[in-house]
Amino acid sequence: MKQLVNHNFPPFYQKDSKVLILGSIPSTKSRELGFYYMHPKNRFWKVISEVFEEENPKTIEDKKIFLKRNKIALWDVISSCDIEGSSDSSISNVIINDIESIVQETDIQYIYVLGKKALQLYEKYIFPTVLITAVYLPSTSPRNARLKEKDLIKQYQVIKTKMKEI
């Protein structure tokens, strides 16, 4: 059954953030724990730490330090929506986050969207004001089990490659 969900924690960014990674809306577990990609089976932290050749951060504080060091900002496209559990395919009645404000407050050069729903909403509602073409990356959610971790790491390498160009 769908329920109204509000994004209940702030975006994570620094003034010197160069990359913005956007999901759709936090999972049930992430909302419960108050930070991004906190479901134990979500592969985001393992994948992104492999890309940057660093140890997988375990605590929220370690994750924040990792993001700061690598100039990565995290947020989500959706501020609130009706959703069933954590299923992006069930999302409706969307209210979009003000992504433009982060872009204006930082040095964001590249935006990556994780998953098809985030890409669809970004292109429709956010790109017209931000004017940065988002790069699609497959979701690291356990629901996207068709992609193996090594395949995700290979695709996410684009983040580190582009960071070297800045």
Q: Which CATH number do you get for residue 139?
A: 3.40.470.10
Q: Which residues form the domain of 142? A: 3-165
pLDDT attached to residue 145:
75
Number of domains the chain contains? 1
Does this model's pTM top 0.85?
yes
Main-chain phi, psi angles of 81, to 5 degrees: -170, 170
Residues contacting 55, CB < 8 A, separation 6+: 49
Chain centroid, CA 9 distance in Å: 13
Residue-wise pLDDT tens for the chain (166 aa)?
899 999 999 999 999 999 999 999 999 999 999 999 999 999 999 999 999 999 999 999 999 999 999 999 999 999 999 999 888 889 999 999 999 999 999 999 999 999 999 999 999 999 999 999 999 999 998 777 788 999 999 999 999 999 888 8
Pairwise CA distance, residues 47 & 52, whole Å: 9
